[in-house]
């Protein structure tokens, strides 16, 4: 078995259900296809950095899949000489083949054991992806000063006032990592959203279970395969190449980042649940105090302070799931950094 033309995406989409594990070599190391969409690349040289790049956790978010597939091809054919450990995950190949966000259940609501409450493809896949990450980090756990990273790359349903942003998963002591924020700024990220509570997302899983620096990275609006303008990811592409080739984090001023803290999660509590915004409203649109943002037969949510903004508004989901996040700007100086 081999990855034809070093095209891991095509290989994964052709083998969406299963792949018998196999290994191979490439100019700067050894590769292990562990399962469908699960590729581990080990450099010849030992490295303190173990990086997980996950894409396609939502099957229709194709831009990041194409970006990472190009990086993998460059490593496999020798244009990039790999110096760090790398695990590439194409999260939901079945949904990707169907050009859908998910098949049965939103995969990014099933981590941290959330899969135990569901059946079907995504539940099995969440468990498999958690296992792949545990196995990958376990190899580096004995290394002194090992640095675990997980960037879970997505694109958003709506346009955004800040085109590229990250969700910083809930961190208990509210101390945020300066080196990672500088790296994200250098990677073209415009805004950071600080989560207010534990979630069942992939990035929170890697942070809470493995102590990784982990982020959900939103790279712009969603487009089908072949319709992405990959030049819009140029900054991230360059900083990932630097990380892969040298193990160095690109740096840029934190002052370029807009920071927001999550105030509230809007939860769809009834079939009558509605958001009082039209389809064109972008992520990070701000509202006036007192505006009724959401309502149903059971509840209503009013804007608490002028300037509070909505992110990820979406009511096309089952009862009990997140229909949006309410966020408020925070001054960078008010953050505790280490």
121 binds ligand LFNQLBSZ (CB under 6 A): no
CA angle (132, 136, 140) in 5-degree steps: 165
Smallest distance, Å, CB 42 to ligand LFNQLBSZ?
A: 28
154 binds Zn ion (CB under 5 A): yes
Residue closer to Zn ion, measured from CB, 167 or 244 = 167
109 binds Zn ion (CB under 5 A): no
Supply 143's token pair. 């290394």
Quote the distance between the C-alpha of residue 273 and its chain's center: 27
Asked whether 66 and 225 are in contact (CB, 8 A), the reply is: yes
Binding mask 216-235 for ligand LFNQLBSZ (x = CB under 6 A): x-------------------
User: What is the Cα–Cα distance from 75 to 81, expressed in whole angstroms?
Assistant: 6
Would the annotation count 58 as a binding residue?
Answer: yes
Residue closer to ligand LFNQLBSZ, measured from CB, 139 or 267 = 267
Q: Characterize the bridge pairing of strands 165-168 and 191-194.
A: parallel
70 binds ligand LFNQLBSZ (CB under 6 A): no
285 binds ligand LFNQLBSZ (CB under 6 A): no
Q: Which listed option, Zn ion, ligand LFNQLBSZ, none, makes contact with residue 201 (CB within 5 to 8 Å by class)?
A: ligand LFNQLBSZ
Backbone CA torsion sign across 45, 47, 49, 54: positive
158 binds ligand LFNQLBSZ (CB under 6 A): yes
146 binds ligand LFNQLBSZ (CB under 6 A): no
58 binds Zn ion (CB under 5 A): yes
Would the annotation count 162 as a binding residue?
Answer: no
User: What is the Cα–Cα distance from 314 to 297, expressed in whole angstroms?
Assistant: 18
Choices 122-130, 152-160, 175-183, 264-272; region in contact with ligand LFNQLBSZ by CB under 6 A: 152-160
> Out of 258, 299, 314, 321, which residue is the one contacting ligand LFNQLBSZ (CB under 6 A)?
314
Does 34 qualify as catalytic in the annotation?
no
Residue closer to Zn ion, measured from CB, 317 or 330 = 317
> Out of 206, 259, 312, 335, which residue is the one contacting ligand LFNQLBSZ (CB under 6 A)?
312
Positions marked active-site: 218
Residue set of the binding site for Zn(2+): 58, 61, 154
Site for Zn ion, rule CB under 5 A: 58, 61, 154
Site for ligand LFNQLBSZ, rule CB under 6 A: 58, 108, 154, 156-158, 167, 201, 203, 216, 312, 314
């Amino acid at each position: 078995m081999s990855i034809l033309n070093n095209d891991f995406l095509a290989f994964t989409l052709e083998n969406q259900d299963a792949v018998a594990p196999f290994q191979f070599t490439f100019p700067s190391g050894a590769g292990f296809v562990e399962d469908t969409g699960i590729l581990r690349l080990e450099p010849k040289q030992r490295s303190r950095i173990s990086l997980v790049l996950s894409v396609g956790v939502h099957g229709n978010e194709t831009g990041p899949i194409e970006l990472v597939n190009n990086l993998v091809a460059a490593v496999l054919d020798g244009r990039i000489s790999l110096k760090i450990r790398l695990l590439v995950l194409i999260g939901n190949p079945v949904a990707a083949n169907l050009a859908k966000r998910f098949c049965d259940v939103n995969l990014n609501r099933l981590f941290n054991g959330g899969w135990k409450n569901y059946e079907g493809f995504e539940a099995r896949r969440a468990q498999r992806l958690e296992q792949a990450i545990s196995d990958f980090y376990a190899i580096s756990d004995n290394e002194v000063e090992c640095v675990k990273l997980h960037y879970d790359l997505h694109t958003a349903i709506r346009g955004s006032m800040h085109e590229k942003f990250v969700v910083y998963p809930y961190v208990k002591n509210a101390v945020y990592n300066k080196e990672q924020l500088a790296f994200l700024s250098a990677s073209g990220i415009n805004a950071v959203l600080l989560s207010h509570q534990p979630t069942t997302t992939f990035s929170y899983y890697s942070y809470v279970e493995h102590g990784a620096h982990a982020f959900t990275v939103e790279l712009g609006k969603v487009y089908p395969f072949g319709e992405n303008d990959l030049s819009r990811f140029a900054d991230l592409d360059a900083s990932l190449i630097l990380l892969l080739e040298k193990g160095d984090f690109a740096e840029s001023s934190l002052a370029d980042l807009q920071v927001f803290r999550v105030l509230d999660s809007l939860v769809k509590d009834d079939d009558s649940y509605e958001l009082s915004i039209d389809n064109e409203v972008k992520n990070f649109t701000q509202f006036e105090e007192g505006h009724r943002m959401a309502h149903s037969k059971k509840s209503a949510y009013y804007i608490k302070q002028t300037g509070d903004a909505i992110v990820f508004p979406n009511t096309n989901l089952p009862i009990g799931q997140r229909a949006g996040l309410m966020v408020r700007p925070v001054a960078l100086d008010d953050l505790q950094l280490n």
